[in-house]
Structure 1
Amino acid sequence: MAEVEESPSSRNIPQRMQREVRQRCGFGCVVCGMPLYEYDHLLGWANVKRHAPDEITLLCRLHHHEKGTGLLPAEQVEEANRSPYNLRTGVSKTYDFHFSGKECQVLIGGNSFGATFSADPSILLPISIDDTPLLAFSFSQGRIGLFLNLFDENNELILQIHDNQLVQSTSPWDIQMVGQNLVVREAHRKILVDIVFEPPHRIVISRGRLLRNGVELLIRPDSIVVSNNGATYTGNHIRNCPAGILIGPHSQPISTVLSLPQVPRYRHDKMIRETWISQAFAID
């Protein structure tokens, strides 16, 4: 039986209930799939004054406003709630980030990668595994684009940003976007990425696990650890170098700061991971 909070002291929905609603709605507006959303009490907060997950849905700001003004009939919202857009399609509607200019910076695990693009086209590739850019900025035809590929432990692509366009799968356990902060979880207290977007030119990743083809990078607030071999990178400030950390084979030559052409695959140091988990979730 779904949990119900009768006569709550505020309109703030408990975190665990928010997560249940996000999972049921496919992490986006049930009408259009937009990954930026607000929580809506289907029966009207003023009418029920309670929090029940089955009575709460996700709506983007436009559809939330339309429902509130009567332009979107409540019956249509209830129908969409029964069959959310993202669960029907398997992925969210795209969302465009507003990155621009010729400057970019990536702060990740106590390391900084940045560039001022002068040539067109150009690229900043902070992390790449086996010719797959996990994180990159490009500059082409006078505009800047953010690229991110996030894989799970099964090597499945679950979230992608391609040239500033965000598309996310409905398969993760939880995806939460609040303001500029995006958090993807595989399970309770098991974060895949915690990223803050700071347009027009910067992103910050303080926690995460970047996975690809048996390689695992653990992101702590002060370091990046390759758990396959224990290699640790901290305090590096790299600017105007096309690539930062390249792991595995790459088909095209590119200037890089740190290269690991060979690492043990699917071998992760248990002690490194346990230490990372205890530190990363100390205040989560």
Structure 2
Amino acid sequence: MTQNGRYIPEPIKRQIRQRCGFGCVICGLPLYEYEHMREWSIVKEHNPDEMTILCPTHHAEKTRGLLPIAEVLTANSKPHNLRFGMSEAFPLRYSGDSCLVNFGSNRFMHDFARDAVISALTIRGYPVIRIKKQDGSLLLSLRIFDKEGKLLLDVDENELIFSVDSWDVELVGKRLTIRSGLRAILAQVEFVAPSAIIINRGTFAYDGFQVQVAPDHILLEKYNIRMEKTSARMNGGGGFRFD
């Protein structure tokens, strides 16, 4: 099907992402660009079967002729992330003397002047979202699940990894979105350097206890408690705690 211009329609992008495991087919990084394996100047169409996704480094190597097309074709047939069942770790870059965490409309701020480690969200005594200041850097750790308890997103001290079992995973700018179907968002997180994280949607769970985050509230499912527009600033102690 011939397309007008170089704009790639969103359904075609999604089809390419799904086939490629939501990351560079060679190295697995979720920071990628859409690429025509036979150059756009030759094909002049967006055929998803003849397109792939490459990280900026591998894309530049291919464009300059330093990466043989045969290697791209081989990787496209066996994408890195699909072989391993998860994405390659992507490093986040956080720093500073304070941090901001938004859970939907609920807001938590912390100044590291006193405490070098803070739990922004604690469930049954376990720090589900933790931020640590170390050697001038802020190290973020968090885990997001679906309602059935399957791990969707894992950040371990700024190393971001996600499962490729989801219907769609998309990193656009600083926003990571995980979907279970068309217009069905399971998790959506914005990693705002140098010191903020915005959680628009997601499920945080530990020991059978679940906290659902939506754009306008937090829901404690076990007790059917809904929290809206809560704001906290901490110079010590902890953030949101649910027991």
TM-score by length of 1: 0.79
Alignment equivalent of 1:89, drawn from 81, 84, 89: 84
For the residues of structure 1 that align with 2:206 and 2:14, how far apart are their CA atoms?
27
Note the 1:191-270 alignment, pairs <5 A.
191-212=185-206, 214-240=208-234, 241-247=236-242, 261=243
| Gapped regions of structure 1 (runs ≥ 5) | 1-5, 248-260, 262-284
Tell me by how many angstroms 1:98 deviates.
0.9
Tell me by how many angstroms 1:214 deviates.
4.6
* Match in the other structure for 1:8: 3
Which residue identity lines up with residue 118 of structure 1 in the other structure? Answer: A
The count of corresponding residues between Structure 1 and Structure 2 is: 242
Moved more, 188-197 or 207-216: 207-216
Which residue identity lines up with residue 193 of structure 2 in the other structure? Answer: P
Helix, strand or coil at the partner of 2:229: coil
Tell me by how many angstroms 1:227 deviates.
3.2
| Gapped regions of structure 2 (runs ≥ 5) | none
Equivalent pair of 1:120/1:141 in contact (CA under 8 Å): no
For the residues of structure 2 that align with 1:53 and 1:243, how far apart are their CA atoms?
48
Equivalent pair of 2:25/2:81 in contact (CA under 8 Å): yes
Residues 230, 30 of structure 1: alpha-carbon distance in 2 compared, 3 angstrom cutoff:
same
Tell me by how many angstroms 1:54 deviates.
1.0
Which residue identity lines up with residue 239 of structure 1 in the other structure? Answer: R
For the residues of structure 1 that align with 2:101 and 2:216, how far apart are their CA atoms?
14
Helix, strand or coil at the partner of 1:243: coil
* Match in the other structure for 1:80: 75
Tell me by how many angstroms 1:200 deviates.
0.7
- Compare relative contact order (CA 8 Å, sep 6+) and give the higher one, 1 or 2: 2
Deviations 1:226-273 (CA, angstroms, capped at 9, x unpaired): 2333211122111115333333xxxxxxxxxxxxx3xxxxxxxxxxxx
For the residues of structure 2 that align with 1:148 and 1:43, how far apart are their CA atoms?
40
Which residue identity lines up with residue 215 of structure 2 in the other structure? Answer: P
Deviations 1:165-222 (CA, angstroms, capped at 9, x unpaired): 1112211111100111110112222212111111110111223344455544333332
For the residues of structure 2 that align with 1:186 and 1:132, how far apart are their CA atoms?
27
Which residue identity lines up with residue 33 of structure 2 in the other structure? Answer: E
* Match in the other structure for 1:39: 34
* Match in the other structure for 1:110: 105
Tell me by how many angstroms 1:44 deviates.
1.4
* Match in the other structure for 2:12: 17
For the residues of structure 2 that align with 1:193 and 1:21, how far apart are their CA atoms?
20
Helix, strand or coil at the partner of 1:160: strand
Equivalent pair of 2:139/2:157 in contact (CA under 8 Å): yes
Residues 215, 188 of structure 1: alpha-carbon distance in 2 compared, 3 angstrom cutoff:
farther
Moved more, 194-203 or 182-191: 182-191
* Match in the other structure for 2:63: 68
Q: Does 1:157 align with 2:144?
A: no
TM-score by length of 2: 0.91
For the residues of structure 1 that align with 2:41 and 2:127, how far apart are their CA atoms?
48
* Match in the other structure for 2:131: 137
For the residues of structure 2 that align with 1:205 and 1:157, how far apart are their CA atoms?
16
Residues 107, 195 of structure 1: alpha-carbon distance in 2 compared, 3 angstrom cutoff:
same
* Match in the other structure for 1:49: 44
Moved more, 183-192 or 79-88: 183-192
Deviations 1:31-64 (CA, angstroms, capped at 9, x unpaired): 1111100000111111111112111111000000
For the residues of structure 2 that align with 1:192 and 1:132, how far apart are their CA atoms?
22
Residues 229, 99 of structure 1: alpha-carbon distance in 2 compared, 3 angstrom cutoff:
same
Deviations 1:54-79 (CA, angstroms, capped at 9, x unpaired): 11111000000100010001111000
Tell me by how many angstroms 1:155 deviates.
1.8
Residues 156, 64 of structure 1: alpha-carbon distance in 2 compared, 3 angstrom cutoff:
same
RMSD after superposition: 1.9
For the residues of structure 1 that align with 2:106 and 2:81, how far apart are their CA atoms?
35
Which residue identity lines up with residue 95 of structure 1 in the other structure? Answer: F
